[in-house]
Amino acid sequence: MKAYKPKNIKEHNKELISDYIKNAHLPLTIRQISDGTQLSVVTINKLIVELIESDTIKSLDKHAKTGGRFATAYEFNTTKELILILQFIENDKNLVVNYHIVDLLGNVIEQKNLKTNNLDELLLNINHFRSVFPQIVLITCGITGVEIDGELRIMDFSPLKNINLAKEIRDSTQIETIIENDINAATLGYALEDNEVLSGVYFPEKFPPGSSLIINQTIFKGSNNISGEIKYLPTFRNAEFPLSQNEIYLKVFDSIQTIIAMYAPHQLIIFIPQVWEKLLNIDKIKDELREIFPKGTLPQMEFSSNFSSLYLAGLIKLSLRN
């Protein structure tokens, strides 16, 4: 077992205290912190001062009543650092960007939806948020495309195609920036279990589909990030988008069959437009799949039109891990 040096012990204890307060999600007294961390009241009283000075935690004006007496309560400073999340969404031929300011607990504290016609407008909007919220330490972009060798080689919105978006944003803001594909983020937002294989398929109403694979909460991207680009499957070779009503059932079915055959996931989430819900006979899809695959091998399947919120949830999860 590695021994902690005195300085390391102090930093370890400070992190232990701040994490305990953070995960409590409610104000705590010194005694409650001591009970939860097994650190002495004397140690906590010494370290709490430094944590307050560094803005990691806050001392509340209101005191908590404990056993007939009032004691100072402390809470985690969720806005010491903030994350700016850009959620790129295709709306017809326009690119709409949902801007979200997120705190250290993953709560959205402000959001705006702004049309973006080019890179200059995008950077202008980002720098506006940067000036209003100087605590921003990370920018996370969910994109409707794929980043290959740092460039958006696959991107439905032409003004951003072949651009190194992360570098452009970093150079403009001096803030760390990460890029993630929309279906990868949405599937990650849906994932709950650590030890599962989860796949997602996303069918935008007017654009080619995409898929993702999550293994133990980790996004699988392949050697060049294009894993999951199912628009390159034979079934889509001559397809035009938006798909006709006669094509929708067959293309969805072929995609699901391919995903199950290739990945054998525990769960499969299929994101479809709400207008498709009446066009797809989900029971029929499941019955036909049962006839194809051996008994007991089909994953749990869910069809959902709740793409946008899970897409955001995945971007938040990814950001908080960073």
Do 211 and 230 sit in the same domain of this protein? Answer: yes
CATH number of the domain residue 17 falls in:
1.10.10.10
**Domain limit, last residue, from 76, 100, 116:** 76
Tell me what pLDDT residue 194 has.
74
Do 206 and 253 sit in the same domain of this protein? Answer: yes
pLDDT tens digits along 153-188:
998 778 889 999 999 999 999 999 999 999 999 999
Split into its structural domains, the chain has a count of 3
Residue 197: give the domain boundaries.
192-306
Tell me what pLDDT residue 47 has.
95
What is the Cα–Cα distance from 102 to 139, expressed in whole angstroms?
Answer: 10
- Sheet of 218-219: strand order equals 218-219, 210-215, 197-202, 267-271, 300-304
**Cβ atoms within 10 Å, residue 162:** 11
Do 160 and 110 sit in the same domain of this protein? Answer: yes
Residue 128 has pLDDT above 50, yes or no: yes
Do 229 and 289 sit in the same domain of this protein? Answer: yes
Do 147 and 201 sit in the same domain of this protein? Answer: no
Do 273 and 221 sit in the same domain of this protein? Answer: yes
DSSP 4: P
**Pick the residue with more confidence: 15 or 193?**
15
pLDDT tens digits along 238-262:
999 999 999 999 999 999 999 999 9
Is 269 contained in some domain?
A: yes
What is the Cα–Cα distance from 100 to 84, expressed in whole angstroms?
Answer: 6
Confidence of residue 18 (pLDDT cuts 50, 70, 90): very high
CB 66 within 8 Å of CB 59: no
CB 285 within 8 Å of CB 259: no
DSSP secondary structure string, 235-286? GGTT--SSPPHHHHHHHHHHHHHHHHHHH--SEEEEE--GGGTTT--HHHHH
Of the chain, the percentage scoring pLDDT greater than 70 comes to 93
The answer for 25, left when phi > 0, alpha when psi is -120 to 50, beta otherwise, is: left
pLDDT tens digits along 261-279:
999 999 999 999 999 988 8
Is 1 contained in some domain?
A: no
CATH number of the domain residue 128 falls in:
3.30.420.40
